[in-house]
Structure 1
């Protein structure tokens, strides 16, 4: 479906919510939720939502942020920084700080998991030894 908006080429491509949902493998509900939060702002024609390339880029960034564990408010801050001062450089510096924080959190969780696995291995070994003495 092609449509034109002020400042765009007359043949600029747009997508419906169904097309975007299918492409990104998300539900219509998730897309509407991101829209309600102001993370996406598709063009509205009556009840139809038309997504422009900018919306698709933002959705891809939202989903990437969610996959690596960023909360939606952090994702909003990162995405919005691109359009505002300090612009892309500020956005990237902020994102690097967030990556460091997220990495530290995940490393801590990994250590906790490794400790739990070691405790389970010790418990399993003791149970096997006790069972061996009983049989």
Structure 2
């Protein structure tokens, strides 16, 4: 947001009381979304955001919206994503960034992630 990174919290998709996890979850605060499913399926950013209970549209994320001098952009592996970011499909080791800030603001978008061994 406005050129500053915002951490996605750990624990999304994990219900400690029920001792259950969603197919898409974030066990740690390291930026990695884990996908573990008993069936082969395609998972999208929209599904993860729904699990997080944060709305995602083509021009907004949660309460942050394009307009009034701000723009909203999505990137996958450092390249601008054209279309609705909710449709971004998770693929192994993709780096996904959502950016909201002043129109034309220069933002350093990560193109890769330094994956820990075994991830």
- Taking structure 2 as the reference length, the TM-score comes to 0.27
Higher helix share: 1
Greater RCO, CA 8 A, separation 6+:
2
Higher strand share: 2
